[in-house]
Amino acid sequence: MPGSNNCDDADAKARHWFACQQSRALSAEERLALAEWLAASPHHYAAWGRVERDWQSLECFRGGLSGELAKARRQRPWYRNAVYFRRALAALVLAILPLLHYGWTGTTQSWQTTVGERRHIVLADSAQLDLDTATRITVTQSWFKRLIELQEGEIYLDVAPDWRPLVVMTADTRIRDVGTRFSVRNTAGKLIVQVAEGAVEVTHQEGNLLLRSGEMATRLAVNQWQLAKLQGEIANWRQGVLVFNRHPLPDVLQELARYHLVQFELTDSDLAKKQISGRFRLDELNTTLCIIAETLNLQVEHLAPARLRLSPAPTQRQAQPRPCR
């Protein structure tokens, strides 16, 4: 139909001119050409009007769609935004990693005492720890464990209740606290565990031991443990005293040497069979030696400032020297 083709041509021409006008500014020649084309026929004005109405409808639709999209973006949860979620997750990991590292590894502190020194320590969990003379320890505390490594010497523990187990490691032996007061000693190759209250579990290469209140265990050799009942209070050195109950003289002298920079000699092998009982002050070595000498009928000679010799006292027919000086 000729009329239909003219309308189609007019609509196409109108769309062309409208697109040019929307995309850029028309030149003077183009504006004149557009005005002449519109004036040439009423169909041209009608086509132009239809194109304008279609464009306005499209603008309304596009504006409504843009509004809906913006609204949807505002209402979208943060965790559905992939970029934001990745950034938030990375920040969270960076913040948590140091805490996890601390919680797993914990903090480590070391303490030691010199000869004759004693020390009292209160740990972060309120557990109380006493170090005897010439003692070295390392304490590690984390969210999951409480570990004390005893390199040498003797410690006394009064453990506060806690869901984390407290473990003492020394000489390839593991002592686990079960809520208690106990002491651990590792000196001269001898390991001693004494329990004043509660219980401890001792794990070693040969098996396990469960020590309860009033019990002690002594490792005499690699595969030999000796169990016994306690005689009196444990760790009397905390009160500044040493208590002996029928202890052999060499053991008593060896114990005194732990607290004083001194060496002892026994001139007679029979002296090793003599025994000592009593309560002695740690800081009164001369008084202690005088009591021992008078009790066992010995004489004490000072060979050097840090070297003493004990020998049987002279018979009555010989000149009687002072038992100790």
Q: Does residue 73 register a pLDDT over 70?
A: no
**Position with higher pLDDT, 32 vs 14:** 32
User: Could you give the C-alpha distances from 26 to 38, 54, 165, in angstroms and in order?
Assistant: 15, 21, 87
My answer on whether 161 and 246 are in the same domain is: no
Which of 180, 195, 229 finishes a domain?
A: 229
My answer on whether 172 and 146 are in the same domain is: yes
Q: Which amino acid is at 47?
A: A
My answer on whether 50 and 129 are in the same domain is: no
My answer on whether 43 and 118 are in the same domain is: no
Taking only the tens place, the pLDDT of each residue in 17-26 is 777 877 777 7
Q: Is 88 contained in some domain?
A: no
The whole-number pLDDT of residue 76 equals 54
Q: Is 169 contained in some domain?
A: yes
My answer on whether 189 and 256 are in the same domain is: no
My answer on whether 70 and 118 are in the same domain is: no
My answer on whether 193 and 162 are in the same domain is: yes
The tally of domains found in the chain comes to: 3
Gap between the Cα atoms of 79 and 52, Å rounded:
43
Q: Is 142 contained in some domain?
A: yes
**Residue 286: which CATH number?**
3.55.50.30
Taking only the tens place, the pLDDT of each residue in 97-125 is 666 655 566 789 999 999 999 999 998 88
My answer on whether 135 and 59 are in the same domain is: no
My answer on whether 63 and 14 are in the same domain is: yes
Segment 9-28 shows an average pLDDT of 77
Q: Is 269 contained in some domain?
A: yes
Identify the domain containing residue 130 by its residue range: 108-229
Nearest in space to 194 (alpha carbons), one of 150, 236, 230, 245: 230
Which of 75, 92, 125 finishes a domain?
A: 75
193, 184 Cβ separation under 8 angstroms: yes
My answer on whether 205 and 304 are in the same domain is: no
Q: Is 49 contained in some domain?
A: yes
Gap between the Cα atoms of 239 and 236, Å rounded:
6
**Position with higher pLDDT, 147 vs 59:** 147
**Residue 214: which CATH number?**
2.60.120.1440
My answer on whether 256 and 199 are in the same domain is: no
Gap between the Cα atoms of 241 and 304, Å rounded:
26
Q: Is 323 contained in some domain?
A: no
My answer on whether 210 and 247 are in the same domain is: no
Average pLDDT, the chain: 83
β-strands 166-170, 146-158: how paired?
A: parallel
Q: Does residue 213 register a pLDDT over 90?
A: yes
